[in-house]
Structure 1
């Protein structure tokens, strides 16, 4: 007999899916530049002219303990600035003529820590002419507020070694920054435009994954992990927070809210329990560290694996499938997904006498047709998710003393998880469940569903 006609013990399939909930995080409002002073490295009169060069600035501030509700730096530099907090690069101004005329807002929440924090800024004067840096930050926590503005207390340098932006760097040899005057002083005046938080972010989300796989099937993680990549139409752009939404069909299952995090991998699902063998869709958007929201990502999807269910998942009539295991022909990983195919299953049941009552409960993903002693007793509806409603059949009239045969033809209609689960309950006799005692085959030759068929090979 060819391998395709041989019968095997089926594979058993088990999975459990759980979830937890996380609270959303509120966004921050911008602060102004009033009270801040323009500063530069002490060389000549930077208000009139400074060399075309990079200059470097550092300061520290203390953030109150407690939950951070706001940590925002509004900053600009003639001509450009790059910002680090505690060694983490966070934002950069656009590389264009007169970019200093519009301040950028830098969301510091992803990098701020309770206690002492180190703020570092690299400012570039792109051509000989006036040069300056001005900024103001505010950190608000449940324990209080800390504010800081540019001024003579900042340290500055014309050159820097590796690691200059890190908290542990010793800047005692740096020069005190030169105070050029309060915001509003010439040549810049008070016309610096506030950050435009309504503008769209140059960041875009791509390459969404669940459990490190694209569009995966058979996800059995208790709390699936999401991930994505970012592309940007402008340089030096970074994620400051994100919002992730999971749905099934038209029903929203979970909305993370806006979560402050620069992380783009291994972000855990935090909604209610996911149903087995269900297709979910998800999408995400991010805010950059300047508080600008990206467009929503493309819609991605994943499908959960089969589970060990009771009546709460299968059918409205509360059929009893306790003790039964999901089974399939032993090939690949039926939990993760197998190609569209038909597989055949048989079980012989020995009864001491003809039962007065017997009920068979059975379903298959995607469909299952059932015979008892050669008589067809059930056919799954050919509709989406028909497996969610198990067939419940009174088979007492078809059973007899001696050997009895239950036969199932199951169809997996798409590349997806596949399985059969069932239970025969005989009054006064044994309960028979789907388990490793069933036989399975890739083909069903003539008579395969009848009691006399030889499935031993």
Structure 2
């Protein structure tokens, strides 16, 4: 087990040290057509969108994004916020997982100050496919732009068919911007327990739920050709929990006020990861009940820093009992309903639970939880 954990750490180090393979060489500064060729633009925010479809027969895997906005920007992918920048002279780099087919890159760019001044968006996006093929998208007239920022403009289904094409202001390196400082590498957006939601079943009423055991599951299916090597899971539950990964018992917690953090080897490496939780609401006849967790999956490849982050939300599933074998890989939970989101981390009655910095040791199942083979857990 010690050797396996060391191997995982070496893999992470190799992935993190990868250099960013894109630059702004072929990118254009773009904006709206306001003011014609005059680079002095009115203050305010503008919306940009670029729909991207892979070539026939190819599946998109990930994208390295290099971006900067004058004066600041908020970047979205398929409706989800990826990052922000607040200086036109320093670019930011991101690595994100893509949907296999259509992907929508959207940016809200704000021209600051109270008087007309230069404004623009500059980006380069290197898209990687499951077969190893690489393609680069840059800011140019293929982007659509709007002079205001409509609600929901970042969503995949938003209709931008009436938006005009972006206006090319200048090539990269031209005045008044010159050369832009770029980071050496791109890092995956990483979540934490504070980004997670408290979830439970549909039994919660007035903040309370009946006592008893409940089962929760989350199955993560990775893009084609990608396999997870380990999972780092931070979680707690009110009142007790036992955590299972790939059908094996990881550990148990008995106090919702402090979370535990486990690093679990996934053996063999897998394109599908099953996380299951046996949870008990033990104070009765009714009392607050909830589960909260954040998961980082480490990949064997070096795409996007090799980590995929996710949290407890409405995509998890629950059962009002604890059916035999529910913790196992391949268990059919298709008829289970979606978990009910009670609220974000920090909500009452739980407040700010203690988030660990060190890993927790493995432990056996709680009384009444299913027995299973022990997982390979780092200590």
Q: TM-score, normalised by structure 2?
A: 0.51
Deviation at 1:304, TM superposition (A): 2.7
Q: Structure 1's 202 and 209: CA in aligned 2 closer, same or farther, altered over 3 A?
A: closer
2:310 aligns with: 263
Structure 2: distance between partners of 1:219 and 1:103: 40
Report the CA distance between 1:62 and its aligned residue: 2.1
* Paired position in structure 2 for 1:50: 41
Deviations 1:314-354 (A, max 9, x none): xxxxxxxxxxxxxxxxxxx7468xxxxxxxxxxxxxxxxxx
Which of 27, 32, 36 does residue 23 from structure 2 map onto?
32
In structure 2, what is the equivalent of residue 60 of structure 1? 51
Name 2:92's counterpart in structure 1. Answer: 104
Larger Rg: 1
Alignment of 1:53-202 (within 5 A): 53-63=44-54, 70-93=62-85, 95=86, 99-109=87-97, 112-127=98-113, 128=115, 129-143=117-131, 144-189=133-178, 191-197=179-185
Measured after TM superposition, the shift of residue 245 of structure 1 is 2.8
CA apart distance, 1:43: 0.8
Deviations 1:359-378 (A, max 9, x none): xxxxxxxxxxxxxxxxxxxx
**Size of the alignment, in residue pairs?**
233
Q: Aligned-pair RMSD on alpha carbons? A: 4.2
Q: Quick one: structure 1 residues 260 and 215, their matched pair in 2 at CA, closer, same or farther if it must change by over 3 Å?
A: farther
Give the counterpart of 1:41 among 8, 32, 35. 32
The equivalent residue for 1:397 is none
Deviations 1:233-283 (A, max 9, x none): xxxxxxxxxx97349xxxxxxx963544231347xx99xxxxxxxxxxxxx
Partner Cα separation in structure 1 for residue 136 and residue 307 of structure 2: 21
- Is contact 2:193–2:235 with CA below 8 Å preserved after alignment? no
- C-alpha distance in 2, partners of 1:67/1:223? 32
Question: How far apart are 1:72 and its partner, in Å?
Answer: 0.9
Unmatched segments (≥5 aa) in structure 1? 1-21, 227-242, 248-254, 271-295, 307-332, 337-457
In structure 2, C-alpha distance between the alignment counterparts of 1:102 and 1:202, rounded to whole Å: 21
Moved more, 206-215 or 139-148: 206-215
Matches for 1:242-261 after TM superposition, within 5 Å: 245-246=263-264, 257-258=298-299, 259-261=306-308
- Matched residues in 2 for 1:225 and 1:164: separation? 42
Give the CA deviation at 1:182: 1.0
In 2, Cα distance between equivalents of 1:104 and 1:148: 16
